[in-house]
Amino acid sequence: MTAFGQEWPEPARRAITGLQELVGADEGGRARIALAPGRVNLLGGHTDYNDGYVLPVAVDRRVTCAFAERAEGMLEFVSLDFDDRFIIDPRDLPRYREDDGAFERLAGGRENRWRRYAAGVALEMSAAGLPVPAGLGVIAGDVPLGSGLSSSAALEAAVYLALSNDRATPEAALLCQRAENRWAGVPCGIMDQFASFMAEEGRALFLDCRDLSWHNIDLPAGTAVTVVDSGVRRELAASEYVKRRQEIETALTILRKVAGPLPALRDLTPEVFAEVDDLLPEPLRSRVDHVVGAIARVKEGVTSLALGDTVRFGELMVECHQSLACLYEVSIPELDRIVELALTVEGVFGARLTGAGFGGCSVVFHDNECAEALRQTVTDGFEKNFGRRPPIHHLRSAGGAGVWSVER
């Protein structure tokens, strides 16, 4: 299956075939195919909710929504991966109100989480005054679920573009973030959606989480990213995440008494922190220490990348990992071991846990040439320690989400 002289990636082929089967060839007409990538964050880590910076790369794993619009009627979504479907009425979509159960009435309960993301996007479009079309959307993806590559944001972005036929914009990313916050009940920051929409191939996206200014920076040629899944479900992540956010709030309250107006930790320079850090009891001092250092490291990392200094960039990744492990205390032995093993491989620049921690993945930034050696070393070493071979994904940087109109 080709369009614009290009092969469609695997999930798009499945979604298009699925749509054709469901709609029937006789109906003819056009379809919109939206593709949105997952992402992996190279630097930063709990920096987003501190108004700091992040540096994600979109990767060549995607969620697709193949959509056939109808002039009127209902809006139906089908998930090929979950073998599930649901229908909503685009003329009668509820508004979001805290805990009023509107979603349950609409898409039927808390099971089938994917429905919440897909319907949530339609609901937020409606709330934003955008038309929500009738039609059939078929969804398929190959972003691994729940392992830190942000399949949920890719799903939201694909659904948004399929329904709206819009361009990828920061406003679209914010809309999808609201869908996830409100309708899926996940208090995520803006990075995942922003990266899925605005990333560019061969580049990393430097995003200021305060004002959403961003620019893309070239990744040095011949570099690649490998993600190793610890296989540990992030069960603690939700409760520990809330705890970290509370600790930061408490630390800010204390710091504001001496350091003056301090909207967020972003505004605390390493120099000022060094003067006031003994006011904070542990673990608050360590938590703030991590955030201040991590924000500074993203800035330095951007300069290193721009200069093609992969060695310094890699060092910053490792420093970031150590800080997440020792000061923020969100690592686990599996993630630490992956980093350790990766760093023994010639051609690896750096490695760190990525995402919120307590499970999920470590990301390795390396010379393309050493991908195979890396796979061997990490899987063998990990197996020795933990008795199983971890899923490992060699990834290429990909462009941001887009939508194409095609003949069915």
- Which residues here bind ligand ADP, judged by CB under 6 A? 63, 79, 81-82, 113-114, 117, 139-141, 143, 145-146, 148-152, 155
User: What tokens were used for 285?
Assistant: 């001092």
Smaller CB distance to ligand ADP: residue 87 or 272?
87
365 beta partners? 225, 350
Smaller CB distance to ligand ADP: residue 114 or 349?
114
Residue nearest to ligand ADP (CB): 141
Smaller CB distance to ligand ADP: residue 68 or 292?
68
In the 8-state DSSP scheme, what is residue 373? Answer: H
Q: Minimum distance from CB of 398 to Mg ion (Å)? A: 17
Nearest-10 crossing angle of helices 170-178, 151-164: 120
Smaller CB distance to Mg ion: residue 180 or 319?
180
In the 8-state DSSP scheme, what is residue 50? Answer: G
Residue nearest to Mg ion (CB): 152
The owner of tokens 């109906």 is: 27
| Partner interacting with residue 146 (select from ligand ADP, Mg ion, none; CB below 5-8 Å by kind) | ligand ADP
Burial class of residue 176 in the structure, from the number of CB atoms within 10 Å of its CB (0-12 exposed, 13-18 middle, 19+ buried): buried
Q: Minimum distance from CB of 185 to ligand ADP (Å)? A: 11
Q: Minimum distance from CB of 191 to ligand ADP (Å)? A: 11
Q: Minimum distance from CB of 194 to Mg ion (Å)? A: 13
Going through 81-222 in order, the beta strands assigned E by DSSP cover 84-88, 134-141, 203-208, 214-218
| Partner interacting with residue 113 (select from Mg ion, ligand ADP, none; CB below 5-8 Å by kind) | ligand ADP
Contact 331, 382 (CB under 8 A): no
Q: Minimum distance from CB of 153 to Mg ion (Å)? A: 6
d(CA 288, CA 284) in angstroms, rounded, equals: 6
The residue type found at 306 is: A
| Partner interacting with residue 13 (select from Mg ion, ligand ADP, none; CB below 5-8 Å by kind) | none
d(CA 363, CA 352) in angstroms, rounded, equals: 6
| Partner interacting with residue 227 (select from ligand ADP, Mg ion, none; CB below 5-8 Å by kind) | none
Q: Is 142 a catalytic residue?
A: no
d(CA 191, CA 206) in angstroms, rounded, equals: 10
Q: Among 146, 142, 148, 86, which Cα is nearest to 111's? A: 86
What residues line the site for Mg ion (CB under 5 A)? 150, 152
Burial class of residue 322 in the structure, from the number of CB atoms within 10 Å of its CB (0-12 exposed, 13-18 middle, 19+ buried): middle
Smaller CB distance to ligand ADP: residue 31 or 119?
119
| Partner interacting with residue 336 (select from ligand ADP, Mg ion, none; CB below 5-8 Å by kind) | none
* List 48, 142, 192, 289, catalytic entry: 192
Catalytic residue numbers?
A: 192
